[in-house]
Structure 1
Amino acid sequence: MSDCLVVEIAYLYIKENAVQHKTDMFDMVNNEEIQTPILRRGMKFTLAIRFNNGGFRDGVDKIRLLFNFGPTPNPLKATKGIVILSDSKVQNQDEKLWYGNILAKGEDTVTLEIAIPPSAPVGVWKLQIETSKVSAPDRVKVYDHEEEIYILFNPWVCHDLVYMPDKRLLDEYILQEVGKIWVGAYGSAKGREWIFGQFNACVLPAIMLMIDRSNLPHSSRGDPVKVARMISKMVNSNDDDGGILIGDWSGDYSEGTAPSAWTGSVAIMQEYLDTQEPVPYGQCWVFAGVVTTVCRALGIPSRVVSNLVSAHDANSSLSIDKYYDKEGEPLEEDPNNPNGEDSIWNYHVWNDVWMARPDLPIGYGGWQAIDATPQELSTNFYQCGPASLEAIKQGAVCYNYDVEFMVSSVNADVLRWKEDPHHVLGYSKIYCNKYHIGRLILTKKPFVYDPNGDRDREDITSLYKQKEGTEAERLSLYNAVRGSEMAKKFFAMPDSELEDMEFELKDLDKVMIGESFQAVVTIKNKSKQARTIGAAITAYSVYYTGLKAQLIEKAKGDFVMQPGAVENMKMTITPTKYLDKLVEYGMVKLYATVTVNETRQTWADEDDFQVIKPPIRIQVPAEIPLNKNTTISLGFKNPLNTVLTKCRFFIHGPALLKNYALACHDIQPQQDVSIAAGISPRADGEQILVATFHSNELHDITGSVKIHVY
């Protein structure tokens, strides 16, 4: 064995390779104590080997580099890469295989250029170097390289399935650490600041923990379709204890962190890594923020998508069915679906990821929707997607994965049914709204960040569905209906005949907290005869998922309308009636029902709006010096006539400070409070600071500011 070359060290030029591979922003690369090589597949990297007993001689010495992935590496499963050194240059190498060329040789060193296949599995690889003599190939000396090597997807390289042709967009969809997530009711939705922090030191190790717990075979970890589907399953913890986040919409978050208190993904990923347990708590927009962190860290282009007025179709009917009793009161359960009921969320948030789809016909690649919020089972797990946006738009429900569910989410018809003993089904259709679902689908516009407004909002509704009211939109929905046996039954039911009364519930976009508001129903009698009207208006506080919380107010009345008359039925609600009944995010739902005695015509509608809370004021100097502690101020005015207890501000900025909480004394009713905080910027240029406020009585208070560091 003494005549075999003995490897003293393998040097991976970690920072130099990182610059070439666009991974130099990762903290793990820049850690001066323990640097970790992070590479992208489909590219070459430089490696130097130093021996302690001589130099490499081609034809005399034999050197093999073994790149191993997973517990049982196998070249046939692409989990083992083998590179054999030779002075001969490798030309036109099969892109599915690893290969290397010698760049330079010294007395005791050899410098190599190694090519990673563009289909290599993504994750942690280990390097072994075997040395032997050509004359004695069975006498092998093995060197195990201690450093883990991370290999990621590569959207900059055309042979990778996540390749994005417009490479400029990768500055946003891979490299951008700060973004926005649009939350709130249609008409009042605002962009909530979110720090993805995909380059933080805890993120990649936490992702590897998540992937290992998913049981996705190592040989499948290079397929972005399978990896994206796994991410949608594992960011939530509904199926097992291995996922990242525990979902909760109850309003009681005493056992963890309230969803509205998070400023970004890093604190979640750190807690998941430290505790090895799912983190309490998340909701749809928190799940989506974490998914973008995971995808961007792995190299899959990703963006957060918000669907304002989003359908949850529980029975695959491509319709959202609301049922009412004889008195016009909404039923709590779906009589045709005892295992669940359809619902309409004020908004719902998921993700788009970019990739080719070799499993689908040409034309269905590009943006794909995935949803990590646990809603309905898909092949026995709470997972959703990737569903091609083009397939969703065309109603091609036969294509993988979960296209039918996504079509319903953005384009279902809303059908209302009233108990009718004369009808064969026991219910007759009284209303159909073809335009209510998917009112606006939003994401952050690339390269723009507006801390005080919505200039950075991008409307992508047209990517998900045809324009409402057009024949193309109806054709795409009916194309989806043809692919669903359940939907055929619901859409085959005839619409009600044209009646002689018209009704309209006035939309409310938003109400500032502490203001009164009115629910107004306009009724027109188009007939030539008097009509006797029975009407009811009800206001509930609701969770953003559409579930009722508390009854705020209810009004009922009967009256006679003369021929051609127009009447407004109004219900005024003062702050004293609703303030103590609001739940998180301040959503209110109005229900209105009207029955015409003479014709049995029935109408029902509903409207959602949001009670808006004040933002956090963040006061900072015009410019802040690099690496020096600077005091900033956070504050806001308590809008309630209630004392706020257990008050905390949470602040975070990727290059400014790590996520941390500032405790605050109880805040008195209508009190304007201010609190000081210190930041010490670690990078110059324009940076972004995000803040949230949480108390027992009031939460979902946010703010952000741009900071100029010199």
Structure 2
Amino acid sequence: MLKTALADDLVYMEDRLLDEYILNDVGKIWIGPKNSSRGREWVFGQFDGCILPAIMFMLEMSEMPYQSRGDPIKLTRMISKMVNNNDDDNGVVVGRWDGDYADGTAPSAWAGSVDILREYWETKTSVCYGQCWVFAGVTATICRALGIPCRVVSNLVSGHDANCTLSIDRYYDENNKELDHDPLNEEGMDSIWNYHVWNDVWMARPDLPPGYGGWQAIDATPQEISSSSGVYECGPASLEAIKTGAVGFNYDVAFMVASVNADLTRWKRDPKARLGYSRISCNKYHIGYMLLTKKPWIFDPNGDQDREEITLQYKAKENSPEERISLYNAVRGSSFAKEFYELPSNTDEDVELELVNLDTIKIGDDFNVTVTAINKCTSVRTLKIHLAVKSTFYNGIVAHEIDKVDGSFKLKPQTNDRLVLRVTKDKYLSKLVEYSNMKVHAIASVEETSQIWADEDDFQVVKPSISIKIQDEVYTKVPTPITLRFTNPLQTALTKCKFNISGSSAIRSQVVLYPDVKPGGVIKADTQLIVSFPGSHKVIAVFDCNELRDITGSALVEVFDEQ
């Protein structure tokens, strides 16, 4: 609750929370699929000397009127637009998701915002390349530098609603083959990101009714053009408005509702249906699986003790009456969405099917994908099941098909069976793309009842982390030996290797080049660390090469005054 005594300060926040959301210059951003997400260290570096000049240049590029720059509502909306370059406005970072970064820096190779904003300021041109968590890290740096409390938010299993239906829609033909386009939307198709990252900023909202101040979502990743402006910007959207489905309030509330709380609906071609497709399934629990941010005042270099779940700040408990009411309240605000939510399901379901979620898979391990089927009725049921595994980019775009299997069998009354697909390392290692994400897709039909069932699961093949070894006694301005170490998990050589070492503003950033690494070889890099002032500091290392990306590690070091 914002204090009315300080209503003239639109970004007022309690002093102790400012230590985290304004002053903290190193944090974490949670990335990865729901079952294997991890906190990736990020150096915000808002006190570095290059940050304010870079921000001032960004403001000039935005052509934002000077008289509007003191309004946090307008300012954060502009920041969500200018951190990306999708409007060809010389924004800070160019987005890219196809794995080809030869003419720039791979998103996973960045250790923080400072190098990005320094390059932006020095070159006066957009920096290549970023993805959602890079956009969010840069946004947090800019907001904190300007005195706007800001946190980074990760949405595990994030919906991208491309046509304002407030649902994420999958379409199938008469033979249960999934379509690679949206037949009802020529502009694009819905997608599900393994995870998506944006920011919350803290402010009063005098433009909205009382109760809608506090945390506001802004998203600097260019996904959809904002309906209210015609450019790539998103927010600030009140979390209270998102939670209650108040889609009529500024800004982009409906898009954020779909991101965290849309239903995942599957449709099969049906000439007799009103839209030409009949709904065959609806999953109310898939989208917005969990929303995470860094817990204030804690930094855990070796685990997730600093992780804070904030799902209930964005929506009521899943499938509770309050959650359904808020979603339907949002649906009532869109005539197009009403059509998608009012069409009934007409299937007779007496076979229970389940896609077994995978636990953590270490890179190089074989694994099984399993669908179980239980016949709950007193008659025989004939099942046809299709099961496939694909490598994907984290935004849901398929890269390669890895393996698939089709099964057909009769299931006796009151019995169960399963279809198993064994995936070996030889099948998937060469087809992995950055971040090593994979998607399992399953669809089944029951001949006697025309029941159709489909499900999907995202998971990540887990890579090793960097071990950082530093001597116990570290003093300011004295070169201190530091060793970075991990083992190449691949059966291929690693080429063009480098470490990016960074940390809080007291630590001088550096890049350490490393020779090619043989298959399964141990990587051990020795260098020196120089810290400019005493205290508890965070050291962050990122490894990058042509064949293996997104290898990170961190450590806490206590630094004493020079001897």
- TM-score norm. by structure 2 comes to 0.97
Preserved CA contact (<8 Å) 1:305 1:351: yes
Alignment match of 2:171 (pick from 323, 329, 333): 323
Deviation, structure 1 residue 508: 1.4
Alignment match of 2:435 (pick from 566, 575, 585): 585
* 1:209 aligned partner: 57
* 2:389 aligned partner: 539
* 1:618 aligned partner: 468
| Cα separation, 2, equivalents of 1:636 and 1:192 | 17
Deviation, structure 1 residue 600: 1.2
| Cα separation, 2, equivalents of 1:164 and 1:404 | 27
* 1:287 aligned partner: 135
Preserved CA contact (<8 Å) 1:352 1:369: yes
| Cα separation, 1, equivalents of 2:347 and 2:408 | 24
Q: Deviations over 1:129-186 (max 9, x none)?
A: xxxxxxxxxxxxxxxxxxxxxxxxxx99925443334221000000000000000000
Q: Percent sequence identity over matched residues?
A: 56
| Cα separation, 2, equivalents of 1:207 and 1:659 | 21
* 1:689 and 2:539 matched: yes
Deviation, structure 1 residue 244: 0.2
Deviation, structure 1 residue 557: 1.7
* 1:340 and 2:188 matched: yes
Matches within 5 A, 1:592-607: 592-607=442-457
Preserved CA contact (<8 Å) 2:99 2:433: yes
SS state at 1:658 partner: coil
Deviation, structure 1 residue 327: 2.3
* 2:504 aligned partner: 654
633 and 441 in structure 1: CA distance in 2 versus 1, 3 angstrom threshold: same
Report the more deviating stretch, 346-355 or 318-327.
318-327
| Cα separation, 2, equivalents of 1:445 and 1:257 | 30
SS state at 1:267 partner: helix
SS state at 2:340 partner: helix
Unpaired runs of 5+ residues, structure 2, are: none
Alignment match of 2:415 (pick from 554, 561, 565): 565
Q: Which amino acid aligns with 2:175?
A: E
Preserved CA contact (<8 Å) 1:241 1:277: no
Report the more deviating stretch, 264-273 or 520-529.
520-529
Preserved CA contact (<8 Å) 1:511 1:517: yes
* 1:632 aligned partner: 482
* 1:389 aligned partner: 239
Deviation, structure 1 residue 422: 4.1
163 and 424 in structure 1: CA distance in 2 versus 1, 3 angstrom threshold: closer
| Cα separation, 2, equivalents of 1:157 and 1:695 | 54
List, as ranges, runs of 4+ consecutive aligned residues in structure 1 with deviation greater than 4 Å. Answer: none
| Cα separation, 2, equivalents of 1:344 and 1:270 | 33
* 1:46 aligned partner: none
Deviation, structure 1 residue 390: 0.3
Unpaired runs of 5+ residues, structure 1, are: 1-154
Preserved CA contact (<8 Å) 2:25 2:505: no
SS state at 2:509 partner: strand
Preserved CA contact (<8 Å) 1:350 1:371: yes
| Cα separation, 2, equivalents of 1:518 and 1:157 | 60
* 1:352 aligned partner: 200
| Cα separation, 1, equivalents of 2:166 and 2:393 | 23
Alignment match of 2:22 (pick from 151, 174, 183): 174
Preserved CA contact (<8 Å) 1:413 1:435: yes
Q: Deviations over 1:321-372 (max 9, x none)?
A: 0011222221110111121000000000000000000000000000000000
| Cα separation, 2, equivalents of 1:298 and 1:661 | 29
* 2:86 aligned partner: 238
Preserved CA contact (<8 Å) 2:48 2:505: no
Q: Which amino acid aligns with 1:345?
A: W
Deviation, structure 1 residue 459: 0.6
Alignment match of 1:553 (pick from 403, 407, 412): 403
* 1:425 aligned partner: 275
Q: RMSD between aligned alpha carbons?
A: 1.3
Q: Deviations over 1:240-276 (max 9, x none)?
A: 2420000000101010000000000000000000000
* 1:193 and 2:41 matched: yes
* 1:644 and 2:499 matched: no
Q: Which of 1 and 2 has greater Rg?
A: 1
Preserved CA contact (<8 Å) 1:186 1:509: no
| Cα separation, 1, equivalents of 2:262 and 2:9 | 32
* 1:673 aligned partner: 523
* 1:263 aligned partner: 111
Q: Which amino acid aligns with 1:227?
A: L
Alignment match of 2:337 (pick from 484, 487, 491): 487
- TM-score norm. by structure 1 comes to 0.77
Preserved CA contact (<8 Å) 1:162 1:301: no
* 1:367 aligned partner: 215
Deviation, structure 1 residue 514: 0.8
| Cα separation, 2, equivalents of 1:496 and 1:347 | 32
Q: Which amino acid aligns with 2:539?
A: L
Deviation, structure 1 residue 623: 2.1
* 2:365 aligned partner: 515
Deviation, structure 1 residue 685: 1.2
Deviation, structure 1 residue 500: 1.2
